[in-house]
């Protein structure tokens, strides 16, 4: 196995595979990247058992193949070496005993490779169940929900985002049982049969990063316990979470008795000031006092040790009754940062009942739910 490749072109590809590679794995071979060179090109595979990435660097001017073969190379060391090589190109040449000679200008490395037959196989996922989705749509669905997944493992399904794909729409839901985010988008060519799957939140964050610049369609392939996303020259595998996702529809309040509209930026900066004092408290809570008569919203943060902050937050209209309610400012800030509109509507019912944050545009099907805190 021997090839010569343009270094910066190669680094771009290597960076994607590195996302799936752990620098310290209990399975030592997974600290490596498997490299398989055929006449078609170089296939690089990285895996951390949670996600796997397989990437094809096509044979072309930038990649010249002298002889085919395969090897596993230590990912961390290899990436450091390639980054520091002096030349525009480098040559990668596997010699006897899995020794790899890497040369670039006057620098020559001879590093120990690992046996490629010891590298685990990736799951085979058939083409039977597959459909296309635009990269932009998927990226938005992820970033608008993934922050709300549970970070503790007491209910494993809640550490993932639940996706329901159908012919006409996709629904994504995440909740850690204190707050919830649900986004529904319409699509034209979803799967012919309805599909539900739960994908681990942190794997979705990696996927969202990988498709950050993509603007074409991804192809989604469904296996029994895995799902594969194909785009560009790359396949992204993630395991699925087993179990039934809770039915969250019944949690969403149908009516409200108080509604307030805010500019996202006004409320966000007031919350960041209030949380400066509340963050030291065990119960991190700010109080919002909605005075419907005087059309005034007051925000208060209080900490016995440090002091108190109080301010009037500009609102764009109050409907319904006056109300005083306390909530976690971090949940509210996360909900506001995910907003797709500059103005949001917050719908309350009672001081101890969950309230919703929605766009001020009925066309957008995006609802966030936050459970208040009892402070008395």
Q: Which residues bind a second copy (CB under 8 A)?
A: 74, 77, 80-81, 84-86, 99-100, 106-112, 269-270, 272-273, 276-277, 305-314
Is the Cβ of residue 307 or residue 317 nearer to a second copy in the bound state?
Answer: 307
For the bound state, the minimum distance from the C-beta of residue 307 to a second copy, rounded and expressed in Å, comes to 3
Structure tokens at 112: 């120990």
Q: What is the length of the chain?
A: 376
Provide the minimum distance between the beta carbon of 301 and a second copy in the complex, in angstroms, as a whole number: 9
Separation CA 121–CA 112 (nearest Å): 22
Q: How far is the CB of 114 from a second copy (least distance, A)?
A: 12
Residues 96/97/98/102 CA torsion (nearest 10 deg): -50
Considering the complex, what minimum distance in angstroms separates the CB of residue 101 from a second copy?
9
Whose Cβ is closer to a second copy: residue 232's or residue 311's? 311
Q: Which candidate, 174, 152, 151, 148, places its Cα nearest to that of 161?
A: 174
Nearer to a second copy, 8 or 112 (CB): 112
Q: Tell me the CA distances in angstroms from 26 to 81, 153, 223, 273, one per residue in order.
A: 24, 21, 26, 44
Torsion of Cα atoms, 164 then 168 then 339 then 237, to 10°: 50
Cβ closest to a second copy, residue 8 vs residue 49: 8
CB of 13 to a second copy, least distance (A): 20
Select 66 or 110, whichever has its Cβ closest to a second copy.
110
Smallest Cα–Cα separation from 231: which of 54, 60, 59? 54
Task: Considering the complex, state which of residue 84 and residue 155 has its C-beta at the smaller distance from a second copy.
Answer: 84
d(CA 329, CA 279): 9
Closest listed residue to residue 232, CA positions, set 143, 126, 137, 135: 135
CA–CA dist 35, 30 (Å, integer): 13
Residue closer to a second copy by CB (options 219, 273) is: 273
Closest to a second copy by CB, 153 vs 294, is 294
Pairing of strands 195-200, 160-165: antiparallel
- CB of residue 352 vs a second copy: minimum separation in angstroms? 28
Task: Check: CB of residue 370 under 8 Å from CB of residue 349.
Answer: no
CB of 153 to a second copy, least distance (A): 31
- In the complex, minimum distance from the CB of residue 231 to a second copy, in angstroms, rounded to a whole number: 33
Reference 71, options 110, 51, 43; nearest CA is 43
């Amino acid at each position: 196995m021997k090839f010569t490749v343009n270094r910066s072109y190669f680094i771009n590809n290597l960076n994607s595979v590195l996302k799936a590679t752990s620098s310290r794995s209990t399975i030592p071979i997974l600290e490596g990247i498997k490299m398989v060179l055929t006449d078609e090109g170089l296939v690089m595979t990285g895996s951390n058992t949670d996600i796997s990435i397989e990437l094809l660097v096509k044979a072309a001017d930038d990649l010249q193949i002298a002889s085919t073969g395969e090897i596993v190379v230590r990912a961390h060391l290899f990436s450091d070496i390639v980054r520091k090589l002096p030349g525009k190109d480098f040559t990668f040449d596997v010699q006897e005993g899995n020794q790899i000679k890497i040369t670039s200008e006057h620098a020559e490395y001879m590093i120990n490779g690992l046996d490629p037959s010891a590298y685990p196989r990736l799951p085979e996922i058939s083409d039977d169940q597959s459909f296309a989705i635009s990269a932009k749509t998927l990226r938005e669905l992820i970033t608008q929900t993934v922050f709300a997944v549970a970070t503790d493992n007491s209910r494993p399904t809640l550490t993932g985002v639940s996706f329901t794909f159908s012919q006409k729409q996709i629904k994504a839901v995440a909740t850690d049982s204190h707050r919830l985010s649900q986004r529904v988008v319409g699509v034209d060519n979803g799967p012919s049969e309805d599909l539900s799957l739960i994908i681990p939140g942190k794997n979705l964050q990696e996927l969202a990063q990988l498709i950050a610049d993509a603007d074409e369609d991804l192809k989604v392939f469904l296996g029994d316990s895995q799902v594969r996303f194909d785009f560009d020259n790359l396949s992204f595998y993630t395991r699925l979470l087993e179990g039934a996702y809770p039915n969250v529809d019944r949690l969403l309040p149908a009516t409200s008795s108080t509604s307030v509209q805010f500019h996202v930026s006004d409320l966000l900066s007031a919350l960041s000031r209030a949380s400066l004092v509340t963050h030291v408290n065990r119960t991190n809570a700010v109080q919002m006092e909605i005075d419907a008569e005087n059309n005034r919203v007051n925000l208060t943060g209080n900490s016995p040790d440090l002091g108190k902050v109080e301010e009037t937050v500009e609102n764009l209209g109050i409907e319904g009754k006056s109300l005083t309610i306390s909530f976690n400012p971090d949940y509210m800030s996360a909900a506001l940062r995910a907003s797709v509109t500059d103005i949001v509507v917050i719908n309350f019912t009672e001081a101890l009942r969950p309230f919703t944050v929605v766009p001020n545009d009925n066309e957008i099907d995006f609802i966030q739910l936050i459970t208040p805190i009892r402070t008395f």
